[in-house]
Structure 1
Amino acid sequence: FQPWVINGVVEPPANPLTISQTCVRFNDIDNVGKTGRHFTMFEMIAHHAFNKKDSFIYFKDRTVELCHELFTKELGIDENEPTYIEEWWEGGGNSGPCFEAIVRGVELATLVFMMYEETAQGRKNLPMQVVDTGYGLERFAWVSQGVPNAYEAVFPQLGGKLKQMLRLDVDMHILKRYSALCSKADVHSQGAIRAVKEELSIELKMDFEHLSSLLRPFEQIYTILDHTRGLMFLLNDGVVPSNVKDGYFARLLARRAMRAMDLLELDASLSDVVGWQIEEYSNYFPELGKNRETILQLSRVEEAKFERAMEKGKAMVERIEKEGRLDLEAMIELYDSHGMDPETVSQCAKSPPVIPDNFYALVAQRHENPLDENKTTTREIPGGSTELLYYQDDTVQSFQAKVTAVLEEGVVLDKTAFYPEGGGQETDYGTINEFKVSFVEKAGTAVLHHITGEWKFSVGEVVTGIVDWERRKQLTRQHTATHIINAAARKVLGKHVMQTGAHKSEEIARLDITHYEGISHEDLRKIERIANDIVLENREISQSVLPRDEAEGKYGYTLYQGGAVPGRDIRVVNITDWDVEACGGTHLHNTGEVGFIKLLRAKRIQDGVVRLEFTSGSSAVSTVQELDRSVETMAKSLGSPKGDVPKALLSLLTEHEMIKEELKELKRGAINNAAKDLSNEGKTVSGINLI
Structure 2
Amino acid sequence: MKNIGLHGIRKEFLEFFKGKNHLIAPSFPLVPKNDKSLLLINAGMAPLKPYFTGEQTPPSKRMATCQKCIRTPDIDNVGKTDRHATFFEMLGNFSFGEYFKIEAIEWAWEFLTERMEIEKDKLWVSVYLEDDEAFDIWNKHIGVSKEKIVKLGKGDNFWELEVGPSGPCSEIYVDRGEKYGCGKSSCQPGCDCDRFVEVWNLVFTQFDKDEKGNYNPLPNPNIDTGMGLERITAIMEGARNIFEVGEIKKILNQVEKVSGVTYGRDPNKDISIRVITDHCRAMTFLVSDGVLPSNEGRGYVLRRLIRRAARHGKLLGIQKSFLNDIVEFVINSWKVEYPEIKEREEQIKKIIYAEEEKFQETIHQGISILEQYIDEMAHKKETVLSGEKAFKLYDTYGFPLDLTKEILEEKNLTVDEDEFNKNMEEQRNRARRAREEGDNSGWGDNDFHDIFKGLETKFEGYEKVYLETEVLGVFKNNEEVTEIKDGEEGILVLKETPFYAEGGGQIGDAGTIENSSFKGIVLDTKHTKNDVIIHIVNIVEGTVKIGDNVIAAVDESRRNSLRRNHSATHLLHKALKDVLGEHVNQAGSVVLPNRLRFDFTHFEPVSKENLKRIEEIVNNKIFEALEIKTLETSLKNAQEMGVVGLFEDKYKDQVRVVKMGDYSKELCGGTHVNNTGNIGLFKILSESSIASGVRRIEAITGEGIYDYILHMEREMEDITHILKTNKNDIVEKIKTIAEDIKEKEKEIEILKSKMASSIADEILNSKIDIEGVPLITFKADGMDMNSLRNLGDEIRNRLGSGVVVLASVFEDKLFFIAMVTKDIVEKGVHAGNIVKEVAKATGGGGGGRPDMAQAGGKDISKAVEALNIVPSIIKKQVK
Assess same fold via TM > 0.5.
yes
- State the one-letter code of the partner of 2:676: T
Q: What pairs up with 1:219-618 in 2 under 5 angstroms?
A: 219-243=271-295, 246-263=298-315, 269-317=322-370, 327=386, 330-331=389-390, 334=393, 337=398, 341-342=403-404, 354-355=413-414, 373=432, 379=449, 381-383=452-454, 385-391=456-462, 393=463, 396-407=464-475, 408=480, 409-433=490-514, 434-442=519-527, 443-453=529-539, 455-459=543-547, 461-555=548-642, 559-561=644-646, 564-618=649-703
8 Å contact from structure 1 (residues 23, 42) kept in 2: yes
* Contact kept in structure 1, 2:264 and 2:270, CA below 8 Å: no
- SS in structure 1 opposite 2:674? coil
Does the CA contact (< 8 Å) of 1:228 and 1:277 recur in 2? yes
Residues 113 and 132, structure 1, Cα contact 8 Å, conserved in 2? no
Give the stretch that moved more between structures: 635-644 or 568-577.
568-577
What SS is found at the alignment partner of 1:555? coil
Contact 2:83 2:241 in 1 (8 A): no
For residue 27 of structure 1, the aligned residue among 73, 77, 92 is 73
Letter in 2 for 1:567: K
Aligned to 2:27: none
Contact 2:491 2:535 (C-alpha < 8 Å) held by counterparts: yes
**Alpha-carbon displacement from aligned partner over 1:231-289 (angstroms, at most 9, x marks no partner):** 22321232222445543321211122233455457999422332333344445444334
Q: 1:322 to 1:356 in 2, by over 3 A?
A: closer
1:629 maps to 714
Q: Tell me the CA shift for residue 316 of structure 1.
A: 4.2
Shift of 1:600: 1.4
Q: Bigger CA drift: 569-578 or 82-91?
A: 82-91
CA distance in 2, matches of 1:354, 1:70: 53
Contact 1:155 1:225 in 2 (8 A): no
Tell me the alpha carbon deviations over residues 544-576 of structure 1, each in whole angstroms, 9 at most, x when there is no partner. Answer: 2232222222216xx124555411132222223
- In structure 2, the CA distance between the partners of 1:140 and 1:658, relative to structure 1 (3 Å rule), is closer
User: How many Å separate the matches in 2 of 1:662 and 1:272?
Assistant: 46
Note the aligned Cα RMSD (angstroms): 5.3
Pair 40,578 (structure 1): closer, same or farther in 2 beyond 3 Å: same
Q: Relative to structure 1, is the Cα distance of residues 23 and 144 closer, same or farther in structure 2, using a 3 angstrom cutoff?
A: closer
Closer, same or farther in 2 for the Cα pair 1:323/1:89, shift >3 Å? Answer: farther
Q: Distance in 1 between matches of 2:306 and 2:748?
A: 54
Q: Summarize the alignment of residues 73-88 of structure 1 with structure 2, pairs less than 5 Å apart.
A: 75-76=108-109, 77-78=125-126, 79=135, 80-81=149-150, 83-85=152-154
SS at match of 1:572: strand
Q: Taking structure 1 as the reference length, what is the TM-score of the superposition?
A: 0.68
Asked whether the 8 Å contact 1:114–1:132 carries over to 2, the reply is: no
- TM-superposition CA deviations, 1:191-220 (whole Å, max 9, x none): xxxxxxxxxxxxxxxxxxxx9977656654
Partner of 1:684: none
Larger Rg: 2
Q: Structure 1 404/283 Cα, relative in aligned 2: closer, same or farther at 3 Å? A: farther
Cα distance change of structure 1 residues 297 and 388 upon mapping to structure 2, 3 Å threshold: same
- Given that 2:390 and 2:415 are in contact with CA atoms closer than 8 Å, whether structure 1 keeps it comes out as no
* Contact 1:401/1:462, CA 8 A, preserved across alignment: yes
Give the 3 Å change call, closer, same or farther, for CA 255–108 of structure 1 in structure 2.
Answer: farther
Instruction: Give the match's secondary structure for 2:508.
Output: coil
Could you list the runs of 5+ residues in structure 1 that have no partner in the other structure? 50-56, 59-64, 117-122, 124-128, 169-210, 671-691
Q: What SS does the corresponding residue of 1:428 show, helix, strand or coil?
A: coil
- Relative to 1, partners in 2 of residues 1:314 and 1:601: Cα closer, same or farther, differing over 3 Å? same
SS in 1 for 2:544: coil
- Mapped to 2, the partners of 1:95 and 1:150 lie a distance apart of 40
1:150 is displaced (CA, Å) by: 11
In 1, are the aligned partners of 2:631 and 2:657 still within 8 Å (CA)?
Answer: yes
Residue 56 of structure 2 is matched in structure 1 by 13
Q: Which residue of 1 aligns with 2:251?
A: 162
What letter is aligned with 1:271? N
Q: Deviations over 1:320-359 (max 9, x none)?
A: 6788896555457657825794599679xxx968246999
Aligned mates of 2:246, 2:631 — CA distance in 1: 48
Q: Report if the CA contact (8 A) 1:327-1:353 is conserved.
A: no
Shift of 1:226: 3.5
Q: Please give the alpha-carbon distance, in whole angstroms, between the structure 2 residues aligned to 1:412 and 1:132.
A: 55
Distance in 2, matches of 1:532 and 1:97, equals 52
- 2:636 is paired with a residue whose SS is helix
SS at match of 1:432: strand
Q: Which amino acid aligns with 2:695?
A: V
Amino acid across the alignment from 1:32: V
Deviation at 1:300, TM superposition (A): 2.7
Tell me which residue corresponds to 2:821: none
Flag the 1:22–1:475 CA change in 2: closer, same or farther, 3 A: farther
Q: CA deviation at 1:29?
A: 1.4
Amino acid at match of 1:582: L
With over 3 angstroms needed to count, the CA separation of the structure-2 counterparts of 1:567 and 1:655, relative to structure 1, is: same
Q: What are the residue-to-residue correspondences of 1:43-58 with 2, within 5 Å?
A: none
TM-score scaled by structure 2? Answer: 0.55
1:349-405 deviation line (CA, Å, top 9, x unaligned)? xx968246999xx99xx89x98884696794543454333234x2xx1211234444
For residues 616-646 of structure 1, give each alpha carbon's deviation from its aligned partner in whole angstroms, at most 9, with x where no partner exists. 1112221221122112101111111224434
Contact 1:435 1:452 in 2 (8 A): yes
Which stretch shifts more, 426-435 or 264-273? 264-273
CA contact 1:162–1:221 (8 Å) conserved in 2? no
In 2, the alpha carbon distance for the partners of 1:213 and 1:89 equals: 41
State the shift of 1:423 in Å.
0.6
- Taking the aligned partners of 1:358 and 1:100, their CA distance within structure 2 comes to 39
Unaligned residue ranges in structure 2 (runs of 5+): 1-33, 39-48, 110-124, 127-134, 136-148, 172-188, 191-197, 213-217, 258-262, 378-383, 437-444, 481-489, 756-879
Q: 8 Å contact 1:44–1:135 — kept in the other structure? A: no
